[in-house]
Structure 1
Amino acid sequence: MKKIIVTTVIFLSLFFTSSCENELDLSNPNAVTVDQYWKTESDAQVGVNSIYAMFYKEGLWARWIYLRLDITSDEGFSKSPWTELADWTRFNYINYNFGPGNADTWRDTYKAIFRCNQVLANVPNISFQDEKSKKEVLAQAKFLRALHYYYAAILWENVPIVLTPSIPTDLPEQKNVTEVWAQIETDLNEAYIDLPTEWPSAETGRPDKGAAKAMLAKVYMQQHKWQSAKVALEYLISGAGAKYSLVPNYRDNFTDLNENNRESVFEIQFGNQRNGPADESQSAAVSSQRAQFFAPRSIGWSDGQARFWLVDAFKKEKNKDGGLDIRLRYTLFYPDLLADFGDKTYNKTWQWEANEAWFRKGSRDYYRDNEDYYSQVNYRLIRYADILLRYAEVLNETGNTAGAYQYVDMVRARANIGTLAVAHPEIGNDKAKFLEQLKMERVLELAGESVRWEDLKRWGDLDTQTAVAKIALRDPDFKNFVVGKNQRLPIPQVEVDNNPNLSQHPEY
């Protein structure tokens, strides 16, 4: 798909329509209307491809969503001279319409959902030579709608559920997050039925049954539906979808050299073949701006950087040979990287202060000395190491702590780290102690991979002042965190003002 979707996208923004008085209706002879489109199988394929194009928009996975998922969490922070941008990582929300902090991500989320709804509403009426292909198009739209609603639920919680193509006069009703989760479950379960177990190589990057089960597991876990999550994860670990494994080289998950490998469950396909803006033009970029956004000073903007406690966390436990955890080398840039690993592959002209660190995953220091807005490195949204650690978590939550050890050990073994039982005998069969260690295992394996915010929410670490105070010891921005408020974002105020069926979260 990296060679297919990013070069064949047609953007469907022309299909926002509204009813007008007849005398005000104007026709543009050069514009394609809804009635003229959605006639052929090719229309359907291009329509579903347009949903994937939303990954390349700045409000989503091209740039700004990482501000919310990585930098707002205790793994990251911002010292950006753009004060309002940095304030949105410090829980100082003043202008709820601020684009990079809030409104752009809301806008692009619902734009993506609109494209999904276009496909789901119109493709059933199109004749296909092969009914299986038709079902796969619809299943992709359901998967992608579920994915975007998942992050809407993580970020804002109570949001409108829109399941049909929108028109400007629509005033969708706000739903409780429990209803949002239920809709996501429905979409994913239906998508699973018709998604293939594996796509042909020319279609690499589209979600398969394993991706649907992985997303289902994430949804169930956020709701503490542990048994349902366990069943979903078992499909990938020991069931019909058990085709995944950890790649030997940890860094292969973060460069463009070994993409879509056996560890990848679902990854966003980026390319650098078009260096236009992140808009709807034919020259629109299909790349990631994350590396430019997170790069050290003199190499990129450094608008977001890593908390130094992560470096210390990696150094607490040595590997079997008495050396440092190799994952540190490829997770973070920090002043002692060269001394610790003899790593001469990064640009040493960067500028740093004592005890500063930056996220390295997705950087291109392995072949260039600076970043730009056009990184081609795919983003591994879900990988098998995450699945193994999640399975350990659900086993622990369902009373099988002893059985959970082996899945943590599989992840530790790749880093040449000893078994959990030998390294931490104090855990034993204690559920609470196991979870506390698992929290650290997820940091060491997944830091900077956009899962920390949902982890903190799932564990209840944002629910009490005592828990938040512990986070504030390693991330002082959490001294501003208000329990019962900042676990979710304010809804963009312009949306509330324009829709009487939408209410601002009462704590805002």
Structure 2
Amino acid sequence: MKKNIIRLTFLVILTVASSCKKSLLDQSNPNTFTTNDFWITENDAQKGVNAIYHMFYQNGGFNRWIYFRLDLTSDEGFSKSPWIELGDWTRFQYVNYNFWEGNVNSFRDVYKAIFRCNQVLENVPKITFADEAKKNELLAQAKFLRAFYYYYAAILWENVPLVTTVQTPTDLPPQGTVDQVWAIVDGDLNDAINGLPEQYPDAEKGRATKGAAYALLAKALMQQHKWAETKTALDWLVTGAGRQYYDLVNFVDNFRADNENNKESVFEIQFSDANKTAEGDGPSSNMGSNRPQFFAPRSIGWSDGQARYWLVDEFKKEKTVSGGIDPRLRYSLFYPALEADFGDKIYGRSWEWGADEAWFKKYSRDYYRTNEDYFSQVNNRVIRYADVLLMYAECLNELGQTADAYQYVNRVRERSNMAPLATAYPAIGNNKDAFRNRLKEERVLELCGESVRWADLKRWGDLDTQAGVNAVAQRDPDFNNFVVGKSIRLPLPQTEVLNNPNLHQNPNY
């Protein structure tokens, strides 16, 4: 009996010991948050929204690679990179659809950002706030940012997965048409407009405002040729209540670290050189822009991207009112005659590059550095008011209100001491097609190198026919590789197509 009791006691001890050991192994790391631990407080909600903004510092987006897709693939830029595959992805020569730097990284970061937006939109409504208006403001920022990333998904890939809820690794989201993607963008931005403030205090500068949402909505609607709705969106910024917040400033102030978040800025990415480290999600990860490093002239940066020389010629076609060169050229491009024309050297050097070469100057730091690095603190003015005014003019023209459109082009031209449009080009009159053709030139002169040209070419239909592509190819021979009906959009990463039976590769790939 005693032996049985001892044996039973030993077995109980073993069982308890085993149970204790198991519970010890199953303990959660107290430093690791789960979704159940995190989405509880107002501070959690704020951090969740901040994590979406942090996606601007990832390589696939506005930190680095998206400029290759938006600027270099357009007729404004090109690549002579010794990295052949990288250059091929600006020349419409897509062989490996899984090329990381040309396709997969940007696609991944777009959907990583969308995932973070969806996390906020699903979890923040469950959190109790002392002020419900603050909750609505955070949700509106998440809606704006989700629309922002779907906007670029529509511009680049068009027919992408529709993901509007938090996904798990086993989910197989359906593929949407580009029209369905635009519907998400339009809906999110209309929701965001209702919750976003018109302005923020200085400590919160850089967050999405009501004006930013109206402007991005207008951009999306213009791509769909919904001109009446576009005008309604732009009215708030140009003729309505929002016009008090925006105006034009000194042109060069839009591309330097001085005078950032000024009155011309509608939406601006806040870059910083505080952390000279690698990109990532850590608290000390790089928050700078890599663009100047990759777009700087040879021996100053990596020189993987440069400007087409026809842009220089375009600036010199028309003199200012006082007979000089369009002053925007001075701050838009590096080119051989820059020192002769304006007295400016290139990162402290006289010209030492090819006689037919040009480089993008916007967002460079040549005004105080002799080289570039991965940590540019110059904010990217994604949407500025000059763009809004030119969009408004385009919209009015498409609605048959050409006579009214002149004044908004003239505001932009006047800043650069250019004559009124009717004085410089009287033959345009009220001819819609002639006005549109001139507006194409006005947008190049004002906005070249600002990542809007690819969307412009698509919106104008310049890439829809072989005749249109041939005309573009006269400015940029890379377009000799462009295939109508195919090259207008990027291929989806093939890994995504293979892993999700609901996805089909884009047409003709």
Q: TM-score range by the shorter chain?
A: over 0.9
Partner secondary structure for residue 380 of structure 1: strand
Which residue of structure 2 lines up, in the alignment, with residue 222 of structure 1? 223
What is the aligned partner in structure 2 of residue 478 from structure 1? 479
**CA distance in structure 2 between the aligned counterparts of 1:425 and 1:238, rounded to whole angstroms:** 26
Displacement of 1:346 in angstroms is 3.5
Deviations 1:199-245 (A, max 9, x none): 11111111111011001100110000000001111100011111244
Q: Deviations over 1:292-327 (max 9, x none)?
A: 110011111110000000000000000011100000
Give the C-alpha shift of residue 99 in structure 1. Answer: 1.1
Query: Where do residues 423-438 of structure 1 align in structure 2 (5 Å cutoff)?
Result: 423-438=424-439
SS of structure 2 residue aligned to 1:267: strand
1:403-461: per-residue Cα shift (whole Å, max 9, x none)?
A: 11111000000000001101101111110010000000000000000000000000000
CA distance in 1, matches of 2:180, 2:225: 15
Q: Distance in 2 between matches of 1:268 and 1:324?
A: 31
Structure-2 separation of matches of 1:302 and 1:410: 35
Give the distance between the partners of 1:200 and 1:29, measured in 2 at CA.
Answer: 36
Q: Does 1:158 align with 2:159?
A: yes
Is 1:320 matched with 2:321? yes
Offset at residue 505 of structure 1 (A):
1.1
Q: Which residue of 2 aligns with 1:461?
A: 462
The structure with the greater share of residues assigned to helix is 2
Amino acid at match of 1:267: E
Q: Give the corresponding residue for 1:235.
A: 236
Does the aligned pair in 2 maintain the 1:272–1:285 contact within 8 Å? Answer: yes
Give the % identical residues: 65
TM-score normalised by L of structure 2? 0.94
Residue 44 of structure 2 is matched in structure 1 by 43
Contact 1:332 1:357 in 2 (8 A): yes
Q: How does 1:262-281 map to 2 (within 5 A)?
A: 262-281=263-282
What per-residue deviation string (whole Å, max 9, x for no partner) do you get for residues 463-487 of structure 1? 0000000000010000000000000
* Counterpart position of 1:209: 210
1:196: how far off? 0.6
Q: Deviations over 1:62-113 (max 9, x none)?
A: 0000000000000000000000000000000000011111100000000000
> 2:410 & 2:49 partners in 1: Cα distance?
39
Which residue pairs with 1:83 in the alignment? Answer: 84
TM-score normalised to structure 1 length: 0.94
Which residue number corresponds to residue 363 of structure 1? Answer: 364
User: What is aligned with 1:395?
Assistant: 396
Q: Of the two, which has the highest radius of gyration?
A: 2
8 Å contact 1:361–1:448 — kept in the other structure? yes
What does the per-residue CA deviation read over 1:124-152, in whole Å, with 9 as the maximum and x for residues that have no partner?
01111111111001000000000000000
Q: Are the counterparts in 2 of residues 41 and 128 from structure 1 also a CA contact under 8 Å?
A: yes
Are residues 1:253 and 2:274 paired? Answer: no
Counterpart Cα distance in 1 of 2:198 and 2:337: 44
2:140 match: 139
Distance across 2 between alignment mates of 1:149 and 1:246: 28
Q: Is 1:120 aligned to 2:121, yes or no?
A: yes
Gap change, CA 1:75 and 1:345, over 3 Å in 2: closer
Secondary structure of 2:37's partner?
A: coil
* Alignment partner, residue 16 of structure 1: none
Cα distance in 2, alignment partners of residues 220 and 425 from structure 1: 30
How far is 1:281 from its partner? 2.7
* Displacement of 1:368: 0.9
Q: What residue in structure 2 maps to residue 494 of structure 1?
A: 495
Structure 2 match to 1:503: 504
What is the correspondence of 1:409-420 to structure 2 with a 5 Å cutoff?
409-420=410-421
Structure-1 residue corresponding to 2:19: none
The aligned counterpart of 2:150 is 149
Q: Deviations over 1:248-268 (max 9, x none)?
A: 421000001010000000000
Paired residue type of 2:207: R
Give the whole-Å Cα distance in 1 for the aligned partners of 2:29 and 2:335: 56
Amino acid paired to 1:312? D
Number of residue equivalences: 487
Partner-residue secondary structure (3-state), 1:449: coil
Q: How does 1:59-98 map to 2 (within 5 A)?
A: 59-98=60-99
Q: Could you say if the C-alpha distance between residues 376 and 350 of structure 1 is closer, same or farther in structure 2, counting changes exceeding 3 Å?
A: farther
Q: Are residues 1:297 and 2:276 paired?
A: no
